[in-house]
Amino acid sequence: MEKILSMIYPLAEGSVVTLQLFAVTLLLSLPLGLLLALARISKIKPLSKTVELYNWVMRGSPLMLQLLFVYFALPSFGILLPDVAAAVLAFVLNYAAYFAEIFRAGIQSIQKGQYEAARALGFTYVQTMRRIIVPQMIKRVLPPVGNETITLVKDTSLVYVLAMNDLLRAARTIVQREFDMTPFFIAAVFYLAMTFIVTRVFNWLEKHYARYDE
């Protein structure tokens, strides 16, 4: 028991790194994803095509590869980022592409009549998006966004290839030092606790948005 308690502290420290990476990535990639989605459905062809290419590259190549690229390859182009910044950058660029495609599908699922009603009432395009389309889109994309968010909790463990002491790396360090598998189990419990909370938050959001039907 005492042994487990002694393992909890470094693992909790690792969890803080994991949670920070998770929270900052989510906070930045959601708005960036929305901007990308709006650019993707824009009538300006070069813009739309550029984002399409971007989404393909980010979703079509391994996140691990993108992490290693930002971390190891960027410095050779003279771009030096601190560890955390490099990890956050890679995660945000990658997740924004996924969110962008989810948001795009959500926006395009809103009936044409909503745009027409807004236009007939004198709304500009920006007002229509901000007040009518995007708020309705949020309700529809909650399930897939919840999926991505849970995936993000677990994907943060990829930073263990970098020199960052996240939850998984903290567990592995103890395992290698003590030849004891217990830290892996504790780490699994920590991850499950985090995804449990994320699941509950999204359940609550879905219930909140269920106040109206479509």
Q: Is 119 in the site for another protein (CB under 8 A)?
A: yes
**Measured from the CB of residue 133, what is the shortest distance to another protein in angstroms?**
10
Stretch that binds another protein, among 21-29, 92-100, 107-115, 179-187 (CB under 8 A): 107-115
- DSSP conformational letter for 200: H
Q: Is 121 in the site for another protein (CB under 8 A)?
A: yes
Stretch that binds another protein, among 89-97, 110-118, 144-152, 186-194 (CB under 8 A): 110-118
Q: Is 45 in the site for another protein (CB under 8 A)?
A: no
**Measured from the CB of residue 145, what is the shortest distance to another protein in angstroms?**
17
How far, in Å, CA of 138 to CA of 122, rounded? Answer: 23
- Which residue among 136, 149, 156, 165 contacts another protein (CB under 8 A)? 136
Q: How many CB atoms lie within 10 A of CB 76?
A: 7
Q: b/e string for 92-130 if b means 16 or more Cβ within 10 A? A: bbbbbbbbbbbbbebbeebeeeebeebeeeebeeeebbe
- Which residue among 24, 132, 161, 175 contacts another protein (CB under 8 A)? 132
Q: Which residue has the tokens 């745009």?
A: 115
Q: Is 131 in the site for another protein (CB under 8 A)?
A: yes
Q: Which runs of consecutive H residues, i.e. helices, occur in 62-166?
A: 63-68, 83-108, 112-120, 125-127, 134-155
- Cβ atoms of residues 142 and 204 within 8 Å: no
Q: Which amino acid is at 168?
A: L
- Residues 137-156 close enough to bind another protein by CB under 8 A: 139
Q: Is 108 in the site for another protein (CB under 8 A)?
A: no
Q: Is 210 in the site for another protein (CB under 8 A)?
A: no
How far, in Å, CA of 26 to CA of 11, rounded? Answer: 22
**Measured from the CB of residue 121, what is the shortest distance to another protein in angstroms?**
4
> How far is the CA of 10 from the CAs of 7, 16, 160, 163, in angstroms?
6, 10, 15, 16
Of the pair 123, 202, the CB lying nearest another protein is at: 123
| Number of separate helices (H) and strands (E) present in the chain | 9, 0
- Which residue among 60, 78, 82, 113 contacts another protein (CB under 8 A)? 113
Give the binding site for another protein (CB under 8 A).
111, 113-114, 116-117, 119-124, 127, 131-132, 135-136, 139, 211-214
